[in-house]
Amino acid sequence: MSRTAACLIGGIHRWMEKLTAFLNGLAGDYMEEVGSHLAVPMAFYREGRPVAPGDAATAGRATGKVAVFVHGLCCTERVFDFPGQPGVTYGMMLEKDLGYTPCFVRYNTGVRVEENGKRLSRLVDELAAAYPVPVTEILFVGHSMGGLVAKCAIADGFSRKASWTEASLASVYLGTPHRGAPLEKGVHLATRLLGLAGFPLAVSLRDFLDFRSAAIKDLRFGRVVDNHDGFSRVRQLAVAGTFTTDPGHPASLALGDLLVRVQSARAAAASRGLEPGADFLLAAGLHHFALARDMGVYRKIAAWTAGKPVPLPGGDEAGADAQARVFPVSDNTMKPKRREPCPSF
């Protein structure tokens, strides 16, 4: 096969992956219910292909420290790929820098978040049972809705007293809507208003919008599982983005990373999101998907994972490879800047 033909086939395969992921996110629960072959079963993936839990990492590379990556709605594990840098992901760098073995999950993102969390919990059961070395640490890295799935998986593991919950646990949430996503809130409101309108076209449009998957509807509030007591020993890091470089700008306050507001990604209240004392980082100047593949964000995640203090901006983060200012946030960071009064003449 010629190189051109191979590239063409590879490109078509990638687009089919994206289309399948989009359809799963949009109506994956229905697809699974009717037995569609397009419904994606949850599995570990390597190089675009499903692998058995015991083969999620090759025996030669397996370490006791495992990093489980969980993508978000309408995506695949390729969301973690750095653009134009084949093979470069947070997982690859964590393996190189800190000795973590990366395991990437692909799943049907249209299924309810809590159900996907239970499936992930049992997939980690299989991973731990078949893993070639004892698992001593597990780091979950969830992007967007994937963070909610990871949190549900941890809660399910604690409730079942799964053996892997005895390991040292940590979880990183990248742009995760712990308090819901504004887009789903808007769609829910639109369906209510269209239903009240009553005329046929409005009702038809309401029915069309209401066909969206159960997982999308879960994003209205984001809270899909109550915190388990075991979370008190899980290190948690929430990372939020703002699409402007000024986190106090009105647009940043209103839109966050364009899909998730900072307040939702931060979710400081234990009853609605993270445990008290969970760490929080703000990536100013990054949109929602860039949070999954930015060198500045990676450096902070790596430092936090290693248990080191997360430094303030400066130094090498002013370089071209850091697309955003990433830093710990105080309550004052997100306050709009006061305008200086105009001088009088």
Would you state the pLDDT for residue 276?
Answer: 56
What's domain 40-181+219-328's superfamily in CATH?
Alpha/Beta hydrolase fold, catalytic domain (3.40.50.1820)
Would you state the pLDDT for residue 136?
Answer: 96
- Digit-coded pLDDT (tens) for 61-76: 789 999 999 999 999 9
DSSP 143: E
Would you state the pLDDT for residue 327?
Answer: 63
Domain ranges in the chain are 40-181+219-328
Alpha-helix runs per DSSP H in the chain: 3-33, 90-98, 113-130, 145-160, 182-197, 200-210, 214-218, 250-255, 262-266, 295-305
Alpha-helix runs per DSSP H in 211-340: 214-218, 250-255, 262-266, 295-305
Residue 271 vs residue 253, higher pLDDT: 253
Share of the chain above pLDDT 70, in %: 83
Would you state the pLDDT for residue 3?
Answer: 73
CB 224 within 8 A of CB 111: no
* Pairing mode, strands 65-70 and 137-143: parallel
**In 3D, which of 220, 260, 224, 264 has the Cα closest to residue 243?**
260
- Digit-coded pLDDT (tens) for 119-173: 999 999 999 999 999 999 999 999 999 999 999 999 999 999 999 999 999 999 9
Would you state the pLDDT for residue 295?
Answer: 95
Would you state the pLDDT for residue 159?
Answer: 94
Instruction: Give me the phi and psi of 170, to 5 degrees please.
Output: -145, 155
Does the pLDDT of residue 310 top 80, yes or no?
A: no
pLDDT confidence bin for 330, thresholds 50/70/90: very low
Mean pLDDT estimate for the chain: 85
Per-residue pLDDT averaged across 316-327, rounded? 46
Would you state the pLDDT for residue 13?
Answer: 77
d(CA 123, CA 116): 10
d(CA 46, CA 49): 5
Give Cα 344 to chain centroid, integer Å. Answer: 51
Residue 48 vs residue 318, higher pLDDT: 48
Would you state the pLDDT for residue 66?
Answer: 97
Per-residue pLDDT averaged across 264-281, rounded? 66
d(CA 48, CA 37): 17
